[in-house]
Amino acid sequence: MPSKEQIIEVEKLPVHIQSGATYLIKQANPNSYTHGMFKYPCKFIPEIPRWGIHTYLSERKGVIFDPFSGSGTTLLEANVNGIDAYGTEIDDIAKLIIKVKTTALCLQQIEILENSYLEIMDIIHQDDVQVFRPEIHNLEHWFSENTIKELGRMKIYIDNIQDPDVRDFLKLCMVSIIKKVSNADDTSPKPYVSNKIIKIPPTVEKEFSSVFRRYKQMIMELLSIEGLGKTEMIPGDALDFSIPLKIDLAITSPPYINAFDYGRTMRLENLWLATLTEDMLREKKSKYVGTEKINSKKEKENLRILKKSVLLENYYNIIAGIDEKRALVVKKFFEDMESNLRCVHRQMRVGGKYVIVIGNSAIRKVNIESWRVIEEIANEMGFKTVQYFNYIIQNPYIRIPRNGMGGRINKDYVLVLEKGACNGAKESNEGNMADTEKSESASNNMPDRWNN
């Protein structure tokens, strides 16, 4: 009989990890500082980047990078440890979350924030105030008319605040309540209005007040940190970016295969933010890593990635016999991950570490060990494996069945890679040339802190 899995319970991860071990991390407060801002889907726990920083940047010096920044868990952990961090992210809501979470407001801004909040609480009830109406199809299906007016007055006021940090803080407070005050079901990550359970949404005033107070307290906690590092979001995305400095430590949690439709999940928030239209959201969907919106004919023309991983080729052939499109979705995901690995490898110092956190996926009842496929692809291009382990997810965001399309994720696997010194003369020369060109370009045109 197979031996029962041994679970190691810890308050925090030890520096010396047992490779292959399973950990149960009993964190007293995983939402310290501003980590608790916004219920972002599939975000990983702060303990992982915290462990990575303590293990691989023990002197708290170096360049930290997260290509799939999400809600900014890695970036914030770097900052509270006094380290500057860089990131890329394609979702507009995520960028707003990151900016607010990593920006410590001064006491003068806190005062402006409080005054603005009081004015908002007054103005949302004034009938003679201009109302913004988002371009959401069937708007009245999602929100009551009174909620639309109160949110619309609030948005007009917030958009006219002069201080960009105060304005963005209040924007985040507003988008944080969008789903709660809508008619959409509260338990499903993807917005839909239930015909069986009629929801009675709370008032805009009640929810905004609650969120504002909680977020303000978090910002005050962030303000108390001495030597807080800074975060800079750089242009590009996880598959194509140029960072102005060599990477010492990259820590990221990429999307799961076919697991989460971020565009649909954040649709109402994005449309109220008014940075995207419905058409733009649909077009953007194909740009997310892990998307199922693919051109099957085009994807079938290039299957070279299958030769980079024995495991991937096996998974692909099995799934293709059941559902060819799903097999191509899997292929495309790892093709994109190879692009990410290559871009990180090219811009990382020799000896730099890449910590990747990802769960397995069940596609057409085939259990795909994503971390192992990524390991094979990474080893083929010059990364060497340092160690791997997994931890039990205690409070997953996704709590609903997904009809076998992706499967519930119960564990996350942590794979640690290291850039080796010798990876072939041709690749090394090409990489050095690319690094030189991109570093010069970046140095001559350093992006503003929040220009994207």
Q: Please report, for the chain, the start and end positions of each structural domain, with discontinuous segments joined by +.
A: 7-94+230-444, 107-223
Q: Are strands 383-392 and 348-358 parallel, antiparallel or unpaired?
A: unpaired
CA–CA gap between residue 35 and residue 166 (Å, rounded): 18
Phi, psi of 99, rounded to the nearest 5 degrees: -60, -45
How is 124-187 classified by DSSP, letter by letter?
A: TT-TTS-------TTHHHHS-HHHHHHHHHHHHHHHT-S-HHHHHHHHHHHHHHHHHHSSS-SS
Query: What per-residue confidence (pLDDT) applies to 251?
Result: 98
Edge-to-edge order in the sheet of strand 22-25: 7-10, 22-25, 383-392, 411-419, 348-358, 247-252, 64-66, 85-87, 231-233
Q: What is the DSSP letter of 247?
A: E
DSSP structure string for 381-399: HTEEEEEEEEEE-SS-S--
CA distances from 37 to 68, 96, 98, 169 (A): 18, 11, 9, 10
Report how far residue 350's alpha carbon sits from residue 140's, in angstroms, rounded to the nearest whole number.
56
Rounded distance, CA 52 to CA 356, Å? Answer: 10
State how far the Cα of 46 lies from the Cα of 34, in Å rounded to an integer. Answer: 11
pLDDT of residue 6: 86
What per-residue confidence (pLDDT) applies to 30? 67
pLDDT in tens, the chain (452 residues): 445 678 999 989 999 999 999 999 886 566 789 999 998 877 788 999 999 999 999 787 899 999 999 999 999 999 999 999 999 999 899 999 999 999 999 999 999 999 999 999 999 999 999 999 999 999 999 999 999 999 999 999 999 999 999 999 999 999 999 999 999 988 877 788 988 888 999 999 999 999 999 999 999 999 999 999 999 999 999 999 999 999 999 999 998 886 566 667 888 999 999 988 888 888 877 777 867 788 899 999 999 999 999 999 999 999 999 999 999 999 999 999 999 999 999 999 999 999 999 999 999 999 999 999 999 999 999 999 999 999 997 764 443 333 444 444 588 999 999 999 864 434 444 444 344 343 333 333 333 333 33
Residue 58 contacts residue 47 (beta carbons within 8 Å) = no
Tell me, which fold does domain 7-94+230-444 have in CATH? Rossmann fold (3.40.50)
pLDDT of residue 449: 31
Q: Is the dihedral of CA 316, 319, 322, 325 positive or negative?
A: negative
Residue 103, helix vs strand vs coil: coil
Among the listed residues 91, 83, 22, 28, the one whose alpha carbon sits nearest the alpha carbon of residue 52: 83
Of 335, 357, 77, give the one whose Cα is nearest residue 231.
Answer: 77
SS3 79: helix
Please report where in the chains the tokens 């990410």 appear, as a residue: 340
Q: How many CB atoms lie within 10 A of CB 355?
A: 24
E strand or H helix at 233, and its extent? strand 231-233
Amino acid 31: pLDDT: 75
φ, ψ at 3 (rounded to 5°): -75, 145
Alpha helices in 286-417 (DSSP H): 296-300, 310-320, 324-346, 370-381
